Amino acid sequence: MRNRRVRAIVFELIFPLAVGSIFFAGCAANSGGLVMSPEKVRVIHLKSGSEYQELLSGRPQSHGMRSGRVYLEPGQSCGRHTTKAHEEMLIFLAGKGTALVGEEEKAFEVGKGAVCYIPPHTIHNIKNTGTEALVYIYCVAPVKD
């Protein structure tokens, strides 16, 4: 039952976002607008299991973006870390939890249907505070100042 719910969430919420993001990554700007580069487009199907799934590993798959699907059981966390000079977007597919951000670990409630942006050089951790799996997609991209 849970796998069916996660699969439904994936196809209703995240699949259009992920395909749109991956599709846009294959576009290149020119003076006349956007030009599609079909060889750069990727369609990645999300697994329904509880294992970590890498989606994009950076170059040469993308222009530097990395992404993956994370599955946290109740009480688990991804671990305190920073993405250094990269910004990060988290898209929550299932469950509920807390994003603990900064040295002071300011708490932000996250979960199904939420999107969380983490600026570069920001320490953070995601913890499952619910009774079901917390499932999310992360997208990390380098920042050019």
Write out pLDDT tens, residues 4-40: 554 444 445 544 444 444 434 444 444 455 665 677 7
Helices (H), 10-141: 15-25
| Cβ 83 vs Cβ 125: under 8 Å | no
CA angle (9 as vertex; 43, 69 as ends), nearest 5: 55
Task: Give the residue carrying structure tokens 């920001």.
Answer: 122
Mean of per-residue pLDDT scores for the chain: 82
Q: How far apart are the first and last CA of the chain?
A: 46
Domain map of the chain by residue range? 2-142
Enter the CATH code of domain 2-142. 2.60.120.10
pTM of the complete model: 0.74
Q: Token pair of 122, please?
A: 């920001």
